[in-house]
Amino acid sequence: MAHSTNDIQKLYLAYFSRPADLAGLDYWQHSGVTLAEIAASFSQSSEYTQRFAGMDNSGVVRQVYYNLFARDGEPAGVAYWSGLLDKGAIQIGSVVTSMLEGAQGRDKVAVASKLDAMSQFCDAVANGADVSLRAGLMPADLATARAWLGNVSDAASLANAQVAMPSMLKAMGAVPGANVVLSGHVRAIGAIAGATVFVDTNHNGIPEQGEASAVTDLNGFYLLSGRIGPAAYQQTVDPLHVDVLVQGGVDAQTGLANKDIFTWSYDTTSYPYMGAQFKEAHVDFGPQGAHFHDAGIALTGIPATTFE
């Protein structure tokens, strides 16, 4: 059963403090996994780990309070939730769910106002003239959207955000870049969980800030969506094609670490974001070496793969 947009947006709000990108919203709505599994995948994502890097559980809980309610968490609440996390009695996804379900008064208004703003943001992107924004948002765009949403906590601040949104989207769309939208599955003997899938714009084989990336979930699935910014975009040998790498992770069946690296070239001109149509890229690490297949969708510009 498909999840509602509000269900997915609540997770984007709690974990990333920003509106969902269209590709991600559509993918997770129809992914067929539970909200708890989506939350677990978000908590393993590179965006989450970068935002919460260096924080202890107390810091994470404080950030979630601010993401959801635009306020600092009360000391007793922070101590309660972080204490449960410290003991391993609960996961961050359960904390988020409990906070959302228990929101009252101004907190409930803040969440509703933010969700309204997020919905309007996605509608504006979906119906706007700038096709590139529909494919995804660059890191600078994410920061802008996060700051814009962070100011929303009630009807008055929501109205201010509505006024500011057109100029914000225009500024985002003015930045050139290539579109990347990929979804797929990585496996060896079993599914590869925790593998990094990333656009290697500078060809150094290392996932870096500013490079579009994703981490496979516990079942080996991933969604990579975004735009490649101008600096990285200019580093590509051919701006219409970029290299995508898959590396790392653990085989869920054998428990062994994946030490292989798989590389292929992605054509940024084919299959721009169009509703639910993604270019699909599946990677198998097998005894005869890695190979790539496309789940029945014609892939343009992807030559014979290389196994390194």
pLDDT digits (tens, 9 = 90+) for 119-146: 999 999 888 766 667 666 777 788 889 9
Burial class (CB within 10 angstroms; exposed 0-12, middle 13-18, buried 19+) of 29? middle
Whole-number Cα distances in Å, 106 to 18, 20, 162:
20, 23, 20
pLDDT digits (tens, 9 = 90+) for 57-111: 999 999 999 999 999 999 999 999 999 999 999 999 899 999 999 999 999 999 9
Would you state the pLDDT for residue 113? 97
In whole angstroms, what is the distance from residue 126 CA to residue 60 CA? 32
Query: Quick check: 108 and 68 in contact, CB under 8 A?
Result: no
Would you state the pLDDT for residue 290? 46
Please report which confidence band the pLDDT of residue 219 belongs to, taking 50, 70 and 90 as the band edges: confident
User: DSSP secondary structure string, 156-180?
Assistant: HHHHHHHHHHHHHHHHHHTS--EEE
Q: What is the mean pLDDT of residues 266-285?
A: 44
pLDDT at position 283 over 80: no
Q: What share of the chain is helix, strand, coil (3-state, %, to 5)?
A: 45, 20, 35
Average pLDDT of the chain, as a whole number: 78
Would you state the pLDDT for residue 301? 30
Tokens 């990094």: give the residue.
196
Which residue from 57, 151, 155, 145 is spatially nearest to 106, judged by alpha carbons? 155
Question: pLDDT exceeding 90 applies to what percent of the chain?
Answer: 34
Would you state the pLDDT for residue 119? 96
The listed range with the strongest mean pLDDT (34-43, 209-218, 295-304) is 34-43
CATH number of the domain located at residue range(s) 178-307 in this protein: 2.60.40
In whole angstroms, what is the distance from residue 298 CA to residue 304 CA? 14
Please report which confidence band the pLDDT of residue 23 belongs to, taking 50, 70 and 90 as the band edges: confident
Higher-confidence residue of 267 and 20: namely 20
Higher-confidence residue of 246 and 272: namely 246
Task: Break the chain into its structural domains and give their ranges.
Answer: 5-173, 178-307
Angle ∠(13,153,136) on CA atoms, nearest 5: 35
DSSP 236: S
CA 251 to mean position of chain CA atoms: 22
Look at strands 241-247 and 261-267 and give their pairing: antiparallel
Tokens 């990677």: give the residue.
283
Please report which confidence band the pLDDT of residue 304 belongs to, taking 50, 70 and 90 as the band edges: very low
pLDDT at position 259 over 90: no
The listed range with the strongest mean pLDDT (1-15, 72-86, 165-179) is 72-86
Query: Quick check: 143 and 19 in contact, CB under 8 A?
Result: no
Burial class (CB within 10 angstroms; exposed 0-12, middle 13-18, buried 19+) of 4? exposed
Would you state the pLDDT for residue 190? 83
Higher-confidence residue of 207 and 239: namely 207
Would you state the pLDDT for residue 44? 84
Higher-confidence residue of 210 and 248: namely 248
Tell me which H or E stretch contains 307: strand 306-307
